[in-house]
Chain A
């Protein structure tokens, strides 16, 4: 049996066992609804227009927060990783904030920025920033001496050295940071939508919880997971198209 067939069997078994367990009478089907009920809830959400509204709201927040957090992470990471002055000024402060769980800052952000879009996007950007920054910093520090020395003999110096040599050389590290960042973005989408939202997948989970609609909660969770997975796949695919050498170069 090939790998795709094994995967299909595994998924089919997972849903069959779930369906069987929910209908066996051993568990309360209201608390543990079978997948067919979850699917019905999902169709109901799609028909009412809630699904599209929630997906668009969450995606917009995730993408904006990811873009802001990762851009800042890349720029500051390249500077702290390569230039002593920036490292001395910025790294100690950033290292103080880095161990904080991003979820822990949400109450403070709400007090400072309110419960609107700004605080949600900021929380997501905050969470995305740190893994991207630390990986970009590490990537910039790992640029081989021979690359820098060659560039010098070829007439390439700061500031163009940053985007012509340091950035592409650090790219494998940056990509690793971006992929961690995109999964964190979806964690933060969920958390930030728990309060002060009127749309979004996290909001849907929250209102379904209050209405005791476990089937809708599971449906929304599945959508959130699918969004995170799809975003990671789209990011990986786009990076491969934009930087074909990344998949070819095995030395990195």
Chain B
């Protein structure tokens, strides 16, 4: 018996100004699967994600749980709320105050932001702000996380720390994740499967054969480099 997928796109098309920018895409993401989407700038990665989330008009069928979280490259953390206020934003309508506080404390601990709870985003570093965005998205226990180049604006050192940290959090929560990035290394290191997008089409899909947990040294090993070369060749041929 085949399990129901967590996310499914069937014949997804998106038009911008009369031009088709996403062409007949079919994609299936299983429960708890981490899928990375890579592609050159302007190939439609973010458009695909925004169409999947229902933010822009589209044609075709989309199966996505109503309770999903989205994380943007520009953070989209509210500057007028403290770290605590941002995390509570999505759950402050809940009646049980005890549950709310327990969830907040767990997320603050998980994102290593307990001492920053009363600070405003402008007082935090880029990595910390992105952790606030993730904690806020996780607060509602989403079944799916959509991440649009979440570490794209961070320096290399912070980016690598955030990748390791994201995997640690994901090991606990185990949502299905669709992670858009232009970095092939990042896509392979993080995901179970890398989907390659080119000019609004899926060019190929590569299963990542490495076990978990993964160490950063993995990227210097031959199988990693070979997989990266295959993806690069596919992208360069597009």
Contact = CB atoms under 8 A, between A and B. Distances in A.
Interface of A: 144-147, 149-156, 164-165, 168-169, 171, 243-245, 248-252
Contact of A248 (B69, B93, B120, B137): B120
A146 B120 contact: no
Query: Which of B69, B76, B81: most chain A Cβ within 10 A?
Result: B76
21 contacts: A144-B74, A146-B75, A149-B53, A149-B70, A149-B72, A153-B53, A153-B70, A153-B137, A153-B142, A154-B136, A154-B140, A171-B80, A243-B80, A245-B81, A245-B120, A248-B120, A248-B122, A249-B79, A249-B120, A249-B122, A251-B79
Contact of B69 (A144, A153, A171): A153
Contact of B76 (A147, A164, A244, A249): A147
B80 A155 contact: no
Given A165-B78, A248-B120, 12 more contacts: A149-B53, A152-B55, A153-B69, A153-B70, A153-B137, A153-B142, A155-B90, A155-B93, A169-B78, A171-B80, A243-B80, A250-B122
B206 interface: no
Nearest to A250: B122
**Chain B interface main SS type:** loop
B76 A149 contact: yes
B76 A146 contact: yes
A165 B93 CA distance: 15
B89 interface: yes
Contacts, number: 66
B121 interface: yes
B112 interface: no
Given A249-B121, A251-B122, A168 B80 contact: yes
Interface string B122-163: 110000000000001100101000000000000000000000
A16 to B, nearest CB: 45
B150 to A, nearest CB: 12
B118 to A, nearest CB: 11
Contacts of A169: 78, 80
A153 B76 CA distance: 12
B68 interface: yes
Contacts of A164: 89
A84 to B, nearest CB: 16
Contacts of B89: 151, 154, 156, 164
A152 B90 CA distance: 9
A-B pairs, top 9 by smallest CB distance, nearest first, are A154-B90, A146-B76, A168-B80, A248-B122, A249-B79, A249-B122, A150-B76, A146-B72, A245-B120
Interface string B105-126: 0000000000000001111000
B57 to A, nearest CB: 14
Interface in B86-106: 89-90, 93
B171 to A, nearest CB: 23
Interface in B42-85: 50, 53, 55, 68-70, 72, 74-76, 78-81
Query: Which of A150, A155, A156, A249: most chain B Cβ within 10 A?
Result: A150
A216 to B, nearest CB: 47
A155 B140 contact: yes
A147 B89 CA distance: 12
A147 B78 contact: yes
Interface string B194-206: 0000000000000
Contacts of A168: 78, 80
A204 B79 CA distance: 46
Query: Which of B75, B79, B90, B93: most chain A Cβ within 10 A?
Result: B79
A143 B43 CA distance: 26
Given A149-B55, A153-B137, A250-B122, A245 B80 contact: yes
